Structure 1
Amino acid sequence: MTAPKALLILHGKQATNADVREAVELQRELGWDLAVRVTWEPGDTARLVDEALAAGYRTLIAGGGDGTLREVVQALLAAGSDASLALLPLGTANDFARAAGIPLVSGEALALLDEPPVAIDVGQMNGEPFVNMATGGFGSRVTASTSEELKRVLGGGAYLLTGLTRFAEIGSAHGRFQGPGFDWEGDFLAFGVGNGRQAGGGQLLCPQALVDDGLLDVCIVPAPEDTVGTLGTLLSGGLLGVETVSVSARVAWLDIEAPQPIDVNLDGEPALGEQLHFDVLGKALRMHLPGDSPLRGGATAPGTDADPKSARGR
């Protein structure tokens, strides 16, 4: 019987990770023909995906954080491939992995290769794909400006520390958000458009999001009079966190128009725009997820509207 084979595309910073090496060796001992390729510079991920597909690999593994996951998915979509994908979470925050229930222990994450792949959605912003979430506003500036060294030392707590030290820079933006059955306009501190549920090192912006419903969850944090207090609630989690101060919706698509460019973070990739269009590539990616992953569903979650395309206002 031919051994199942897969190729791990590993972020260059993890090339000397002993836990990863041990997990790969274990997977090989369990009968997998598991090859490893390491990235070095921009463009490597797309090249390695293309080379893997040309070599006949039908299963790939993204070894890194949310940004690495997005790069591999972007390359798979560009190639028009239906190869399946597993995630070996090695980033600072691992927001998608945590929400999806993917183990952070390398050996346990690679064990998901034995789970049959399931079809999940991929979000798009102006045609650019994202697997987890697009965030905009002050939170995106915090994420983009948090240093790699601070993230290495403090992990997800680095985002909190950066946010606390930048209170003097807090400012709101103005925008109009429109989608099927949803229309909101005003000043806001931050927003999230989620295929996944959390971003920025554990901020649960879209707690009811599912990756297989063909919809995007939207969270908007309006700018109140007590801006500093509200942002403090968001950064610390508070008692109820973002749900106490946000407007939310679940839509098939969303348009955002703003008089000034908005800072956006797309699964770790910074962007800037005044007109943003979000939509969904339904069931566009085959991914190895835990059988009981919280991000998988189909039934309407408690507290949502019966019609999933309608807005959930608070």
Structure 2
Amino acid sequence: MASTHWRLILNGKSTGDEPLRDAVAAMRERGIALDVRVTWEAGDAERYVAEAIADGVDSVIAAGGDGTLSEVATALAHRDEDARDLPTLGLVPMGTANDFAAAAGIPIEPLPALETIETRPANAIDLLKLEANGQIHWAANLASGGFGTQVTVETHDGLKKLLGGLSYLITGLSKLGRIEPIQARIAGPDFAWQGGFIALGIGNGRQAGGGQALCPDAAIDDGLLDVTVIPELSGEVAATLATLLKDGKQAALDQAAVRVQLPWVEIESDAPFALNLDGEPLESRHFKVECAASRLRMHLPEDCPLISRIEAS
């Protein structure tokens, strides 16, 4: 029987993590050939994935946050091979907020996360494919715009390190009094919306920005994008803040949200604005986002909330 061969691509910020070192050692003791590569600069994940494919690796594992997952998924997704001819994808959550892992139910501890990859067959998953400024971008989790994007961009690295996902909420609450809506036109099959929004989520996963559940019903295998638009508050910021404090931040979103499921969506604005694609801010006047159905295969927990149909392979 052929041995199992994994390639773990580790965010350079986490090289000193002892629980991860112990978990890697434990997997090796179980007979898994597990190599580790560390990302240091742009392009490293792309190169490591290409090397892994050339080496015939069975699974490529992203060890990091949502950005690291997106980098590794991107490096796999834009290749010409069919999903079944590519290594499977795994995740060991090691970021600040770990939004994708939290929504997917992936264990936060390195050893249980690796054991999920060892014991769970891979499921076909969709990806976000975004076109802006003549370039193609990919993401596994969610594209967000407006208030949530500014919170993610403006949260200080030191605060993120100290407080984790809570830092995004603190930064967000401090911004509530100065939200400026983005004027845009949003369209997809049998759907059109126009106006000012303070938050926009286009989800394959469900949350971003340290727990903002913009797309609470999204599934990662249904061939559709979950689109959530939070319209401008028309001077009711104070009332919304009161709702946040009284009923929780999700209640305020649910009251105002426009939600729809679409295979693709286009967003246009007269002025450039930013979409945050798994931690990468992209600025443009026009975005097109498609659901790339079943583009990769990923190891996910048995009871993963993001899976709508179980078709393991």
TM-score by length of 1: 0.91
Q: Is 232-241 or 131-140 further displaced after alignment?
A: 232-241
2:301 is paired with a residue whose SS is coil
Q: 1:234 to 1:263 in 2, by over 3 A?
A: farther
Matched AA of 2:216: P
Q: Is 218-227 or 59-68 further displaced after alignment?
A: 218-227
Q: Which residue of 2 aligns with 1:31?
A: 31
Q: Which residue of 2 aligns with 1:22?
A: 22
Q: Is the 8 A contact 1:88 1:110 kept in 2?
A: yes
Q: Which residue of 2 aligns with 1:53?
A: 53
- Residue 230, structure 1, aligned to residue 240, structure 2: yes
Question: Identity over aligned residues, as a percent?
Answer: 46
Q: Which residue of 2 aligns with 1:7?
A: 7
CA deviation string 1:250-279 (max 9, x = no partner): 111111111111221000001111111111
2:158 is paired with a residue whose SS is helix
Q: How do 1:58-73 and structure 2 match up within 5 A?
A: 58-73=58-73
2:217 is paired with a residue whose SS is coil
Separation in structure 1 between the aligned mates of residue 73 and residue 101 of structure 2, nearest angstrom? 15
How much does 1:168 deviate?
4.7
Separation in structure 1 between the aligned mates of residue 129 and residue 26 of structure 2, nearest angstrom? 36
Matched AA of 2:236: D
Matched AA of 2:128: G
TM-score by length of 2: 0.91
Q: Which residue of 2 aligns with 1:260?
A: 271
Q: Which residue of 1 aligns with 2:104?
A: 100
Q: How do 1:170-209 and structure 2 match up within 5 A?
A: 170-209=179-218
How much does 1:153 deviate?
0.2
Q: Is the 8 A contact 2:240 2:252 kept in 1?
A: no
Separation in structure 2 between the aligned mates of residue 232 and residue 206 of structure 1, nearest angstrom? 22
2:249 is paired with a residue whose SS is coil
Q: How do 1:141-290 and structure 2 match up within 5 A?
A: 141-224=150-233, 225-230=235-240, 237-238=248-249, 240-290=251-301
How much does 1:227 deviate?
2.7
Q: Which residue of 2 aligns with 1:291?
A: 302
List alignment gaps of at least 5 residues for structure 1: 300-314
Matched AA of 2:5: K
Q: Is the 8 A contact 2:213 2:250 kept in 1?
A: no
CA deviation string 1:197-219 (max 9, x = no partner): 11110111111111111000011
How many residues are paired up? 299
How much does 1:83 deviate?
1.2
How much does 1:234 deviate?
6.1
How much does 1:298 deviate?
4.0
Q: How do 1:125-136 and structure 2 match up within 5 A?
A: 125-126=130-131, 127-136=136-145
Q: Is the 8 A contact 1:50 1:79 kept in 2?
A: no
1:37 is paired with a residue whose SS is strand
Q: 1:29 to 1:73 in 2, by over 3 A?
A: same
List alignment gaps of at least 5 residues for structure 2: none
CA deviation string 1:12-62 (max 9, x = no partner): 011010010011111112221111111111211111111111122121100
Matched AA of 1:263: A
Q: Is the 8 A contact 2:65 2:95 kept in 1?
A: yes
1:292 is paired with a residue whose SS is coil
Q: 1:233 to 1:4 in 2, by over 3 A?
A: farther
How much does 1:238 deviate?
3.4
Separation in structure 1 between the aligned mates of residue 166 and residue 304 of structure 2, nearest angstrom? 25
- What is the CA RMSD across the aligned residues, in angstroms? 1.8
1:264 is paired with a residue whose SS is strand
Matched AA of 2:180: G
